[in-house]
């Protein structure tokens, strides 16, 4: 009689443990898939931010190169700033030039015909002359020095730099730059 009771108890079990185990496994699998999907998205976001940072660095480097060029010798007096010449100085724009595409860098086609390349095609800049011989703010020739010894006039330029990465991220940086114009 004892053997019959054991068989009856086993016959009443319908596999509930198996079903619960399968549900737990499915839940664990779904959590794993979600974790993988989230990590892939975060990986792509981090990569995009890295490429945007690279483009910003390239744009800032282009602006820095343009500022250095303006500060050397008499480059700030280049004829390109006074008469627009697309063949000799296409990237230098005089005051009020209609050729100055610096005001809209997003719609400009950045090429050798309108900008200077400083780091291959990843770094380019344009320079526009905004004003000439402006008196420096807060400066005066009558500060106890001789007027001839004081240089307090500047030319002001707008420099636009464009940086690009090989994945297509593009960033623009604009800088106002002043150069002493006393000669």
pLDDT digits (tens, 9 = 90+) for 73-86: 888 888 788 777 77
- Residue 125: how many other CB atoms lie within 10 Å: 27
Distance CA 18, CA 34 (A): 24
pLDDT tens string 130-141: 888 888 776 555
Three-state secondary structure call for residue 131: strand
Confidence of residue 7 (pLDDT cuts 50, 70, 90): low
CA–CA–CA angle 41, 44, 50 (5° rounding): 145
Please, which residues bridge with residue 180 across strands? 154
Report which listed range, 22-36, 84-98, 128-142, is most confident.
Answer: 22-36
- Residue 124: how many other CB atoms lie within 10 Å: 27
Q: Is the pLDDT assigned to residue 28 strictly greater than 80?
A: yes
Q: Is the pLDDT assigned to residue 113 strictly greater than 50?
A: yes
- Residues 102, 177 contacting (CB under 8 angstroms): no
Percent of the chain with pLDDT over 90: 20
Confidence of residue 149 (pLDDT cuts 50, 70, 90): low
HSE of 69 in the Cβ direction (CA atoms, 13 Å)? 17
Higher pLDDT, 10 or 40: 40
pTM of the complete model beyond 0.75:
no
């Amino acid at each position: 009689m004892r053997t019959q009771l054991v068989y009856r108890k086993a016959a009443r079990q319908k596999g509930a443990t198996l079903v619960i185990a399968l549900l737990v496994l499915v839940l664990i699998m779904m959590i794993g898939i979600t974790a993988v999907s989230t990590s892939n998205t975060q990986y792509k976001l981090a990569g995009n931010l890295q490429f945007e940072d690279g483009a910003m660095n390239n744009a800032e480097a282009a602006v820095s190169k343009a500022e250095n060029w303006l500060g050397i010798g008499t480059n700030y007096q280049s004829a390109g700033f006074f008469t627009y010449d697309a063949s000799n100085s296409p990237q230098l724009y005089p005051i009020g030039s209609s050729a100055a595409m610096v005001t809209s860098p997003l719609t400009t086609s950045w090429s050798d015909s309108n900008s200077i390349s400083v780091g291959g095609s990843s770094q380019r800049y344009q320079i526009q002359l905004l004003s000439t011989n402006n008196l420096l703010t807060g400066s005066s020739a009558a500060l106890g020095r001789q007027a001839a010894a004081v240089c307090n006039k500047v030319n002001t330029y707008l420099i636009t730099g464009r940086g690009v990465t090989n994945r297509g991220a593009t960033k623009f940086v604009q800088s106002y730059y002043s150069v002493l114009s006393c000669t």
